[in-house]
Amino acid sequence: MSTSTKKDIVRGKRYTAEEKSKIVSFVESHNATNGRGGQSVAAKKFGVSQLTISTWLKGAGTTGRSSKASSKGSMQSKLAALLTLGQDISKLEKELGAKRAKFDSIKSSL
């Protein structure tokens, strides 16, 4: 008979709104391009269960299915993709600024 301790209890990972949005956007863009399969591809790529992704899609007001007749869903996915890309660009610009400063510092010491 085994006894479990608090260390043995497995807790689920908590995802930020940004992470959820990124995954939902990925599913929607994949489905828009390929017609379907976005949930399973996202589950493998991001290490999140398909059930979790399905819940997020429902919460976002989409089923994750491609619907060319629904311009609202298309607009939402485009806006979510733009938001994610904008955040990625901001992060990369900050990193680039730091690297440029380091580069200039080393260059001036030569």
pLDDT, residue 7, reads 64
More confident residue, 7 or 12: 12
pLDDT, residue 69, reads 41
pLDDT, residue 108, reads 94
Selection from 64, 80, 75 nearest residue 19 by Cα: 80
Whole-angstrom CA distances from 81 to 7, 14, 69 are 38, 21, 19
Cα–Cα distance measured from residue 30 to residue 91, given in angstroms and rounded to the nearest whole number: 24
Is residue 89's pLDDT more than 70? yes
pLDDT, residue 70, reads 47
Q: Return the percent helix, strand and coil in the chain, to nearest 5.
A: 70, 0, 30
Tell me the pLDDT tens digit for each residue of 21-70. 889 989 888 888 888 888 899 999 999 888 988 888 888 777 656 554 44
pLDDT, residue 104, reads 96
More confident residue, 49 or 3: 49
pLDDT, residue 6, reads 61
The overall average pLDDT reported for the chain is 82
Q: What percent of the chain has pLDDT over 90?
A: 28
Give the number of C-alpha atoms closer than 13 A to the C-alpha of residue 107, restricted to the C-beta side: 6
